[in-house]
Amino acid sequence: MRPLTFLLILIILVVSFSLIPFGVSSYWVRFLSDIFMMAILASSWNVIGGYTGYPSFGNVVFFGIGAYTTGVLMGKFSIPFFPSLLIAALFAVIFAVLIGLPVLRLKGHYFAIATLGVAEAMREVVANLNITEGNMGLTLPIYLNPNFFYYVMFGILVLTLLLTYWVTRQRLGYGMVAIREDEEAAAVAGVNTTQYKVIAFALSGIFTAMAGGVHAYYMTYIEPGPVFNVMITVEMIVMSIFGGVGTLLGPTVGAFIIEGLSELFSTYFLIIHALFFGAIVILAVIFTPRGLLDMLSGRRRFGLGYFLENIRQNRV
């Protein structure tokens, strides 16, 4: 995307979304805040899973770390919200480096399972620590202001997209894509693959952790199970795939469509809402494995043939 086009899209979005809370009820403000949160998570996953080609199945670990760092700092040490949020992001970076160095040596399935294992292990550790109150859950100071959370989430989303856009036009971004296409060739061409992969992992952790921190403050009460829930990782990946893996705006588009539909659906059909999400996952991976943006890009003709071709390519 050309810088000017991107800037224009961004300005239009920022202006229009900044005005929305003035015109709608707090239900819609919350609804959009949730979508922003999922868009942050999916876009962040896209940095490691999409651009770098390392499909992390444990990215929720950053969300949980962010939520719990913020929660402990605010709830136990009475540190204000924004400093807590920054410390949470810092923790996520440190964690990404420590875990990334050994785990990013693995590839494919093994990387996926290892990251899943890290997230599950972290949930169990948090459930066993005293400072996090274990499975009892942690209470944060109460602050009831939907508009505040709306703007903070939206701000983080804009930051995420800006940073992703900037990174993909740097040496780092090209290095990440080179690693995805052929890691050995990238290494031979002079890309410091270990360093780049760890940086990409940390980048995908920073904003995920911040979203986790905002989520914790917004919920005012967190437990290890929900904030380390593997389903959150799945949602990130599904949204990225649905919108388009390795594209700048794909994950955000995916988040808006899937989270939007799923939220609307859950309002009307409480029980079968989960079934709906399962069906979406299945349909998305079978019919649009390359994402919505590819489907609409016009590179291949759109229609029934498009879906059949995807299936024909991937079946036995």
Partner 1 sequence: MFTLQIAINGILLGGLYALMALGMSLIWGVMNIINIAHGAFIMLGAYVTFFLFRYLGLDPFLSIPLSMLVLFIFGFLLQRYLINWVVQATMFITLLLAFGIDILLTNGARIAFSANFYRVNPSYGGARLDLGSLTIPEVRLAAFLVALLIALLLFLLLKRTKLGRAIRATAQDLTAARLTGVKVAHIYALTFGIGVALAGAAGSLWSVLFGVHPAMGGPLTLKSFVVVIIGGLGSTTGPIVGGLILGLAEVFSSAWLGDTWKNVISFGLLVLILVIRPQGILGGTK
Q: Residues in the site for partner 1, rule: CB under 8 A?
A: 49, 55, 57, 102-103, 105-106, 108-110, 112-114, 116-118, 120-121, 124-125, 127-128, 134, 230-231, 234, 237-238, 241, 271-272, 274-275, 277-282, 284-286, 289, 311, 313-316
Cβ at position 241, least distance to partner 1 in Å? 7
| Residue with Cβ nearer partner 1 (2 or 315) | 315
- Helical ranges in the chain per DSSP H: 3-23, 26-45, 60-77, 81-103, 108-128, 146-168, 171-181, 183-188, 193-219, 224-227, 230-243, 250-268, 273-287, 292-296, 304-314
Cβ at position 83, least distance to partner 1 in Å? 30
| Residue with Cβ nearer partner 1 (31 or 228) | 228
Cβ at position 10, least distance to partner 1 in Å? 29
Cβ at position 276, least distance to partner 1 in Å? 9
| Residue with Cβ nearer partner 1 (164 or 240) | 240
Q: In this structure, what are the phi and psi dihedrals at residue 222, rounded to the nearest 5 degrees? A: -130, 150
Cβ at position 12, least distance to partner 1 in Å? 32
Q: In this structure, what are the phi and psi dihedrals at residue 16, rounded to the nearest 5 degrees? A: -70, -40
Kindly report the length of the chain: 316
The burial of 273, by beta-carbon neighbours within 10 Å (0-12 exposed, 13-18 middle, 19 or more buried), is given as middle
State in Å, rounded, how far the first CA of the chain is from the last one.
36
**How far apart (Å, rounded) are the C-alpha atoms in residues 5 and 197?**
29
| Residue with Cβ nearer partner 1 (231 or 296) | 231
| Residue with Cβ nearer partner 1 (122 or 203) | 122
Structure tokens that stand for 271 in this block = 């029980």
| Residue with Cβ nearer partner 1 (13 or 230) | 230
**How far apart (Å, rounded) are the C-alpha atoms in residues 189 and 185?**
6
Beta bridge partners of 138: 222
Cβ at position 135, least distance to partner 1 in Å? 8
| Residue with Cβ nearer partner 1 (3 or 117) | 117
Number of C-beta neighbours around residue 213 at 10 A: 33
| Residue with Cβ nearer partner 1 (301 or 312) | 312
The sign one gets for the Cα dihedral 284, 285, 286, 289 is: positive
Torsion angle in degrees (nearest 10) through CA of 282, 288, 290, 293: -130
| Residue with Cβ nearer partner 1 (79 or 120) | 120
Count Cβ neighbours within 10 Å for each residue of 137-149 and write b for 16 or more, e otherwise: ebebeeeeebebb
Number of C-beta neighbours around residue 296 at 10 A: 11
